[in-house]
Structure 1
Amino acid sequence: MDLLTIGAFARTCGLTPKALRLYDELGLLSPAQVDPHSGYRFYRSEQLERARLVAHLRRIGLPLARISRLCDLPPTRAAAELTAYWDGVLADTAARADLVALLVDHLTGSTRMTETLGLRYAARTDQGLVRAHNEDAAYASGRLLAVADGFGGPQAAGAAVAALQGFDPAAVGPGDLLNALAEAVRTGVEAAPGEAGTTLTALLLTGSKLALVHIGDSRAYLLREGELFQITHDHTLVQAMVDEGRISAAEAASHPQRALLLRALTGPTGDARPDLSLHTARAGDRYLLCSDGLSAVVPQARLHTALSTIAEPEQVVQQLIELANRAGGPDNIACAVADVVAEPAAAVTAVAEVTA
């Protein structure tokens, strides 16, 4: 058997001997042979392809645990795992770039020339065709969009939305905006009674920025220049399995545990860490926030069609609820739609609904 010493193998694959020893201990890249007396490691030339892949993945910052999973996946699933990781990196980088710009302006005392932006909006909830009660909430105003999908009682969704309705971004510094939003969400958690809980997805307009707070499997979508993007990440078991490459997105859609949440507002003992990010608002953008009573039964292509072809937010909301009910209406439905406009516009409608 043709073997390479650890030094020769390291030079060829681009890893250091120290890294190779660590990867051996972790079971990520074990040597073909270890000298029983000296402990010196030897590798086969066939191991170079895996070693080079590991080296490249480390250079882009992929964690070792995730590299270990990816290297053992079939090529198609490995590619999906890597794509999911990099999409997350890009989203995080974009959110941090917006926050950096905001902090730079705050530190230098400068004010960038930006157009005045406002929202045209509509929001509604619907009981659906199966559930006995409506535990969803939807709210829209000239500065706030929010949807919440409650469980264990209608109070939780309403409490989470109410916690943000009274939030005043002008009362906090730009550098404290996201922290203050997180604190407002924690207030909503404490207000949830007993075993009740809720998801929450909300957008708060402040200047030319939209602060996004998200926890659970309600979603936020952005329609920009004709393209529809999901800008939130589901905190569900099946989404975690997709991220890890264990199942495909198509398999997740029909998985029996697709509604199992990993994060939600469930009181002091639950995992109530929301995702928080800043996004730049642009005139002409359209946002959709919705509970899974819509997104789980209406394909994204149908959402895209409604959002891109219907002019008024109120009409869009009505159409989306109709689509969900035509698909069987198996759950409560909450949705809010808003257009970013160059000047503050009069509200189309603002609805905050929680039905016992």
Structure 2
Amino acid sequence: MDVIINKIHQLTSNIRAFELVSANRTALPIFEAGSHIDVHLKNGLIRQYSLSNCCSETHRYVIGVLHDAHSRGGSRCIHTEYQEGDRLTIGEPRNLFEIHPETEQAILFAGGIGITPILSMAYRLKYQKIPFELHYFVRSHEMIAFYGNLTEHFPNQIHFHIQDQPETQCNMQGVLKEVSTQRHLYVCGPTGFMQFVMDSAAQSGWSTEQLHQEHFVAQQINQSENEAFTIEVVGSDRKIEVHPHQTATQALLENGFDVPISCEQGICGTCITRVVAGTPDHRDVFMTESEHALNDQFTPCCSRAKTKTLVIELA
């Protein structure tokens, strides 16, 4: 669907908020806290950005975008090539980071740009009168995004932990000491930060069912030991060779097969494909461990094969 960039707010030196409204000024599709949208950029890339506003709003979507120095082209494009009044094509909201229905208390952790889905969750939890606390980790005070929103709407729940202000250091053991089945933890931010929070929670006795995270960037995987493997597509008699330096998606596209792509990192699940035979080498962060164990689907954008041949079925 088409939207218009109604307003752009410079939140920090490298984070902007983009307020999107329907191009025909009608209500936008409803969404739940934790949702994201696919944004189709003018340079041909599709990128996912979390919705940060309250899910009760249907007149706008608000996304926060970090201008990453290591951008693969998405954040650079939206920061430098779009202005207020420009048109964007987006997909309908999808949610891979839902608030668990049994949440009676919540602890929210955000690191840097990870505040975007966490902010939407905070709005929802407050509306539902579910007690929560929000811990936001940044390197300096100037890097706090949505500062006004956080201090105005959540003065009793927000805790800022600022790296260059030691007095704001977070006592993780104290924060995580209360463990119960109705208490859930939600975290979003850089991979290392999320792993720190998840490990801290596990050490404090939290179960995996209580821990929820949203990935923006997949962990870097050593590709130097990649081996070639063969893909066979059900309904085709062709055998597609996937070389060590390329992904299965690239090999399939080069051979004329249509594979949907979006994040290209194994985060969004757009390209997930059914496996008929063979064993995948799962490298995505989209599926759960139990889903990986079934070995009946894989993400060709990043995953490979443990067997010489992988037989897949394309929709």
TM-score greater than 0.5 by the shorter chain = no
More strand by share: 2
Which structure is larger by alpha-carbon Rg, 1 or 2?
1
